[in-house]
Amino acid sequence: MIYNVAGLLSGELGRGRQQQLENERLSFGNHSFTEINGPVRMIRTDRTVLVSVDIEAVTLDTCGRCLEPATVNVSVTLEEEFSPANADLMGGSNDRPADYDDYYDPALVIDEQNFLDLSEALGQALSSAVPIAPLCKKECLGICPTCTINRNDIQCTCAQNTHDPRWGVLAGLLEKGAKSAD
């Protein structure tokens, strides 16, 4: 996910180019992302390269209900401006503005050799798109709080003994439904 953007930097304002991420992988923090797919668009602005990314990826996590491994699909759209270390290529000066350090983000810099590395910004975006409590499957039954059995594997009898009022309402509705269907 490293692109040489020398041509873009020295080219005309508004010029763009598009790349395609195909089945790329990226490790970031606690996550390893695979099957990263989607377009990467780059446009030269006045002083930066504007990058727009629209991708999907897959990562492995732990199911928030049953604690078994969960395959998680994430999709991310990202729009960031990357600033070149060689500002003179863009016809600007290399003098950094006084407030440069306030805005300086090492993930968003095009290096001295004019390489734009997308992996840090993309890794951050993908990581924050992973849900806090992902599910192994939509209908995961989770772990029984009473006997700690994984209810996806074994159906315990504890649930019948609980008195969650929400189930009472549901049971009532079902009963009504059954009666009106008669």
| Nearest residue (CB) to Zn ion, 8 versus 72 | 72
Least distance (Å) from Zn ion to the CB of residue 69? 9
Residues 6+ apart with CB under 8 A from 71: 58, 59, 60, 136
Least distance (Å) from Zn ion to the CB of residue 65? 5
One-letter amino acid identity for 19? Q
| Nearest residue (CB) to Zn ion, 51 versus 63 | 63
Decide: helix, strand or coil at residue 61: strand
**Nearest residue to 1 (alpha-carbon basis) of 29, 26, 28, 35:** 26
Q: Within 10 A of 118 (CB to CB), how many other CB atoms are there? A: 24
Binding residues for Zn ion, per CB under 5 A? Answer: 63, 65-66, 136, 140, 144, 146-147, 156, 158
Calculate ∠ Cα 74-133-71, nearest 5°.
45
Least distance (Å) from Zn ion to the CB of residue 131? 13
Which pair of tokens denotes residue 31? 């996550």
| Nearest residue (CB) to Zn ion, 4 versus 146 | 146
| Nearest residue (CB) to Zn ion, 147 versus 170 | 147
Decide: helix, strand or coil at residue 8: helix
Least distance (Å) from Zn ion to the CB of residue 142? 6
| Nearest residue (CB) to Zn ion, 106 versus 145 | 145
Least distance (Å) from Zn ion to the CB of residue 76? 24
Q: Within 10 A of 15 (CB to CB), how many other CB atoms are there? A: 13
